[in-house]
Amino acid sequence: MSEPRHALRHPQKPAHIPVDRPTEGIRPEETPLYEARKIVKRYGSFVALNNMDFHIGRNEVVGLLGDNGAGKSTLVRMISGINPPTSGEVFINGKKTDIRTRAESEASGIETIYQDIALVDSMSITRNIFMGREITGRFGFMDHRKMEEVTIDILGSAVQISGIDDPRKEVGFLSGGQKQAVAIARAVHFKRNILLLDEPTSALSVRETEHLLGYVRDLKKEGTSSVLVTHNLYHAFMVCDRFVVMSHGAKVFEARKEDTTIEEVTDHVIRT
């Protein structure tokens, strides 16, 4: 932390920070839950992900770090099947799997909390939670009573956010933090193997953030691995077991928590 501060105070003496080169990173020791190899994602001539290797182990929380535009959200959207890669391979439990739609990632047990929340303002909390996964009876008609019952349960358990007491309330009338809580509650309810959290704490209060990070730790004990995308290195250090730093669509640093320090990780995030 001291180096960059120093540089900020004395701009006439720019500190020399060498730019990181892409790194191979850590090889998984056992068969990971999820592994992506040599992922390339192009948008026209722009390369958003460049030969990226990434894996999520069992009972592990991975911190995905990097400055804005490093490609973190692109990687998360790739893992969750919304933006399929241009080339590269994906393995689920060591088995090569093609994930090109959200339905396919859902089948692999991947659940995501998106940066832009992904809720429909004009729909009720219950309908948002079960959007696309409605509990239906015969002929596809929805079981409103059951969905509401489950909603009440998960609103109470997953992330306790004060002020939500009506599962029929329109999401548009909730505060930013409450909306995020609904998105988190939804993902937590449907998660099976892997939970991806893309900047989940940006709209949360300090207390709500503590609660969420605690929840991520609890999930690990229950066997759900997570990927936490964040700008806040302190949050990352509170829960993550391994850190991956990205820059310009590639991995530039990777270390297990016990092999690194917050200073070292910060240093790599800053060098871009």
Partner 1 sequence: MSNSQADHIRRAVAERAGRTFPAKVADWIRDRPEGGIAVMFCIAQILCIAGALMFPGEFRYLLPANIAVTLKSIAPLGIMALGVGILMIAGEYDLSVGAQYSFLAIVCATVSNQLLGDISEEHASAAAPFIAMALVLTIGALIGVFHALITLRFNIPSFITTLGGMLLWKGATLLYHGASALRFKPTEPFRTIFGGEIGVIHASIIWFSLFAIAFYFLLHHHRLGNHFYAVGGNRNAAVAIGIDPARTKIIAFAIAGFMAAFSGVVAATRVGSIQPGGGLGMELQAIAACVIGGLALNGGRGSILGIVLGTALVFTIQDVLLLLRAPAFYFEMFVGSLIVIAVVLNTAIRRSKA
Q: Given the rule CB under 8 A, which residues bind partner 1?
A: 80, 82, 101-103, 106, 112, 114, 116-123, 127, 130-134, 136, 139-142, 144, 148-150, 152-153, 155-157, 160, 164-167, 170, 172-173
Task: Please identify, using beta-carbon distances, which residue of 63 and 167 lies nearer to partner 1.
Answer: 167
Task: Please identify, using beta-carbon distances, which residue of 93 and 115 lies nearer to partner 1.
Answer: 115
Task: Please identify, using beta-carbon distances, which residue of 148 and 208 lies nearer to partner 1.
Answer: 148
Burial of 232 (0-12, 13-18, 19+ CB in 10 A): middle
Task: Please identify, using beta-carbon distances, which residue of 31 and 162 lies nearer to partner 1.
Answer: 162
Distances (CA, A) of 95 to 36, 98, 108, 196: 11, 10, 11, 20
What backbone torsions phi and psi does residue 89 show, to the nearest 5 degrees?
-125, 150
Taking the complex as a whole, how short is the minimal distance between the CB of residue 74 and partner 1, in angstroms?
A: 14
Q: Supply 86's token pair.
A: 């241009």
Taking the complex as a whole, how short is the minimal distance between the CB of residue 186 and partner 1, in angstroms?
A: 8
Taking the complex as a whole, how short is the minimal distance between the CB of residue 70 and partner 1, in angstroms?
A: 21
CA atoms of 53 and 36, how far apart (whole Å): 6
Task: Please identify, using beta-carbon distances, which residue of 94 and 156 lies nearer to partner 1.
Answer: 156
Taking the complex as a whole, how short is the minimal distance between the CB of residue 82 and partner 1, in angstroms?
A: 6
Residue with tokens 């509650």: 185
Task: Please identify, using beta-carbon distances, which residue of 3 and 153 lies nearer to partner 1.
Answer: 153
Taking the complex as a whole, how short is the minimal distance between the CB of residue 220 and partner 1, in angstroms?
A: 21
Task: Please identify, using beta-carbon distances, which residue of 39 and 171 lies nearer to partner 1.
Answer: 171
CA atoms of 269 and 20, how far apart (whole Å): 9
Q: What is the DSSP letter of 136?
A: B
Give which of 260, 193, 237, 212 is closest to 62, Cα–Cα.
Answer: 237
Computed on alpha carbons and rounded to an integer, the radius of gyration of the chain in Å comes to 20
Q: Supply 78's token pair.
A: 């790739």
Taking the complex as a whole, how short is the minimal distance between the CB of residue 196 and partner 1, in angstroms?
A: 11
CA atoms of 4 and 13, how far apart (whole Å): 11
Taking the complex as a whole, how short is the minimal distance between the CB of residue 143 and partner 1, in angstroms?
A: 9
Task: Please identify, using beta-carbon distances, which residue of 115 and 266 lies nearer to partner 1.
Answer: 115
Taking the complex as a whole, how short is the minimal distance between the CB of residue 222 and partner 1, in angstroms?
A: 15
Angle of helix 176-190 relative to helix 144-157, nearest 10 degrees, comes to 110
> Do the beta carbons of residue 209 and residue 232 sit within 8 Å?
no
Q: What is the DSSP letter of 110?
A: E
User: Mapping DSSP to helix (H, G, I), strand (E, B) and coil, where does residue 124 land?
Assistant: strand
